[in-house]
Amino acid sequence: MATTDNSVNGMTEHCDDCDLDTLHEVSVQIRTESLKEENAQFSREPYRVAECQRCGNRTSQRMNNA
């Protein structure tokens, strides 16, 4: 879970690689999940992407688990 503090952008969360709460850059990306070109426009899903600013570890989680 992300928390805020007095960091530059205020987003800290636990990094499994560092085993610490560290500053993370968090964004949302729309990814196409279908490999078939004709269905690609219907298979876009939002993903939450967090990158640790200390070690560079990047995690992503699908936000719409329908």
Concatenated DSSP letters of 36-63: SGGGGGG-EEEEEEEEETTT--EEEEES
Taking only the tens place, the pLDDT of each residue in 25-51 is 999 999 988 888 887 778 889 999 999
Q: CA distances (Å), 45 to each of 10, 14, 27, 63, 65, in order?
A: 26, 24, 14, 8, 9
Please check whether residue 25 is in contact with residue 8, taking contact to mean a CB–CB distance below 8 angstroms: no
Taking only the tens place, the pLDDT of each residue in 1-27 is 555 555 455 679 999 999 999 999 999
pLDDT, position 5 = 54
pLDDT, position 51 = 95
pLDDT, position 9 = 57
Report domain extents, the chain.
12-62
pTM: 0.72
Joined together, the tokens standing for residue 50 give 């967090």
